[in-house]
């Protein structure tokens, strides 16, 4: 049996290498690729996706999985291994094999080509704030995505098949139940804040030199433990993190000279993802388990760094005097207390990635509902902008003035990543739950006040990073906190923090 497992790992090694090669082309498309290169770039990506599909659906892999007793009832196989991660490895290989064998090579290549073209059209449409440029591309991507869901199969809804790609072993109903239990509470809590005296953040809206923003951001990045000999930081339209190799994890951000929070918190957020990818243990490196448990867990890492750490009073007690040296013209007369309140201002807004942590999950619930309607056919692509604006009005009391600040703000649908959005909100919930334990086990605030971020990184590495995808999200939550995902931790976290800021 052990020989079969080793042979399976050898066969799937090429799958990992191909995924990294595809990521390299995608990273280039989002950063430095000249505009006219999109045509062949799409063909290159389609070719590699086809090769990857053939690799993961190899009959040799199927035979080995069969020999190991992996099936729908026993995805981890029927035999015990001396190595603790082997069962998880078989389970993940079987999950990917089952999905990919249900997809034709033709469909895989068509999706790769169309999403590449779609992303290029989205960038153009976003710059011109003109949805009509993007609409025909989204129609093609959505049609192919529906075909994908039908081919994979599902228990209750086509959305289940899409969600599983990003949040394995989780159903649409489970996510919907969690959202339904948190949305009324969030709406009520936001209402209490609205009735309180609003904090001032006008000092953040002044001119902050972008070069200085980058220098300060890179300092924080290094203090967090990110190593430039294993990655780099660049600029893109939409911030992201991507893994091009076991020692090549790259980050991007974007800067606004008149909105300081965008660049810095984008860097901290993406670094949280990057540190996770760089922290996989030796037992999972180089194989299919060398990835995040799920995107919800992945997002918990970025949100822990961005919000629990990066927007905490203790963090800025150390870093604020340094920031004042970079921007004395804007911050000399702003106290630490006022700065802390300003960067944590709660106010309904249009842009998801710039939303405060109280209103953020409502942005996700909005997209979750629209995605399900698109996949089910209840909503047409043509009517999407109107539906988006209507829900934004219902959720936030505001209406986007244009497409760029509304339906065109996210890259996920151009990528064909339907089912991705819910993981952001799940990440917020997991982050609060994990952090509640971390704060009991180590002196988080004491470390932050001294500018020491490594204690936090070490705890996250030990509890989460080293495991890669060898545990499911629920298993990880049970191991760390003693219970599965529980939204009450998130509610308590927000209450404790924002009652102090807004006296609610």
Torsion, Cα 337 341 342 346, to 10 degrees, reads 180
241 sits in which H/E element: strand 241-245
Residues in a beta bridge with 249: 243
Candidates 62, 51, 46; CA nearest to 15 is: 51
Q: Catalytic residue positions? A: 270
484 sits in which H/E element: none
State how far the Cα of 57 lies from the Cα of 54, in Å rounded to an integer.
5
Burial 38-56 (b: 16+ CB within 10 A, else e): beebbebbbebbbbbbebb
**Is 174:368 a contact under the CB 8 Å cutoff?**
no
State how far the Cα of 419 lies from the Cα of 3, in Å rounded to an integer.
36
DSSP 268-316: HHHHHHHHHHHT--TTTTTSTTSS-S-HHHHHHHHHIIIIIITTSHHHH
State how far the Cα of 252 lies from the Cα of 237, in Å rounded to an integer.
9
State how far the Cα of 285 lies from the Cα of 6, in Å rounded to an integer.
14
348 sits in which H/E element: none
Residue 351 burial (CB count, 10 A):
15
**Is 325:459 a contact under the CB 8 Å cutoff?**
no
Residue 286 burial (CB count, 10 A):
14
Burial 238-264 (b: 16+ CB within 10 A, else e): bbbbbbbeeebbbbbbebeeeebbbbb
Alpha carbon distances (Å) from 369 to 16, 211, 366, 388, 485: 33, 39, 5, 10, 21
Candidates 498, 119, 434, 141; CA nearest to 299 is: 434
């Amino acid at each position: 049996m052990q020989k079969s497992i080793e042979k399976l790992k050898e066969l799937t090694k090429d799958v990992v290498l191909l995924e990294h090669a595809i990521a390299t082309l995608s990273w280039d498309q989002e950063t430095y690729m000249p505009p006219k290169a999109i045509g062949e770039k799409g063909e290159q990506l389609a070719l590699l996706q086809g090769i990857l599909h053939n690799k993961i659906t190899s009959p040799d892999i199927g035979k080995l999985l069969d020999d190991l007793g992996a099936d729908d009832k026993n995805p981890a196989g029927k035999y015990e291994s001396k190595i603790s991660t082997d069962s998880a490895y078989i389970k993940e290989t079987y999950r990917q094999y089952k999905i990919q064998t249900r997809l034709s090579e033709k469909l895989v290549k068509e999706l790769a080509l169309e999403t590449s073209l779609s992303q290029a059209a989205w960038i153009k449409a976003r710059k011109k704030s003109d949805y009509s440029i993007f609409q025909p591309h989204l129609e093609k991507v959505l049609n192919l995505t529906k075909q994908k869901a039908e081919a994979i199969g599902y228990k209750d809804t086509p959305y289940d098949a899409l969600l599983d790609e990003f949040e394995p072993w989780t159903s649409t109903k489970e996510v919907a139940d969690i959202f339904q239990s948190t949305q009324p509470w969030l709406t009520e809590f936001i209402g209490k804040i609205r009735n309180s005296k609003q904090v001032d953040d006008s000092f953040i809206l002044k001119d902050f030199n972008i070069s200085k923003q980058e220098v300060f951001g890179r300092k924080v990045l290094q203090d967090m433990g990110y190593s430039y000999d294993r990655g780099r930081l660049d600029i893109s339209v939409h911030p992201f993190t991507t893994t091009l190799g076991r020692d090549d994890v790259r980050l991007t951000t974007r800067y606004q000279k008149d909105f300081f929070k965008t660049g810095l918190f984008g860097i901290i957020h993406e670094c949280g993802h990057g540190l996770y990818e760089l922290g996989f243990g030796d037992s999972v490196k180089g194989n299919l388990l060398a990835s995040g448990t799920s995107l919800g867990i992945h997002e918990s890492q970025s949100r822990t760094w961005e919000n629990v750490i990066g927007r905490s009073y203790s963090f800025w007690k150390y870093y604020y005097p340094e920031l004042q040296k970079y921007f004395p013209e804007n911050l000399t007369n702003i106290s630490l207390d006022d700065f802390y309140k300003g960067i944590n201002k709660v106010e309904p807004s249009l842009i998801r990635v710039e939303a405060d942590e109280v209103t953020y999950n409502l942005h996700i619930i909005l997209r979750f509902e629209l995605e399900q309607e698109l996949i089910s056919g209840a909503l047409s692509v043509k009517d999407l902008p109107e539906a988006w604006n209507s829900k934004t009005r219902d959720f936030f009391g505001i209406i986007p003035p244009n497409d760029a600040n509304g339906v065109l703000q996210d890259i996920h649908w151009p990528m064909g990543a339907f089912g991705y959005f819910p993981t952001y909100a799940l990440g917020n919930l997991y982050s609060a739950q994990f952090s509640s334990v971390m704060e009991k086990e180590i002196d988080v605030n004491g470390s932050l006040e001294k500018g020491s971020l490594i204690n936090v990184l070490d705890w996250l590495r030990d509890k989460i990073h080293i495991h890669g995808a060898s545990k499911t999200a629920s298993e990880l939550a049970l191991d760390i906190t003693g219970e599965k995902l529980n939204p009450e931790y998130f509610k308590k976290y927000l209450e404790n923090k924002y009652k102090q800021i807004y006296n609610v």
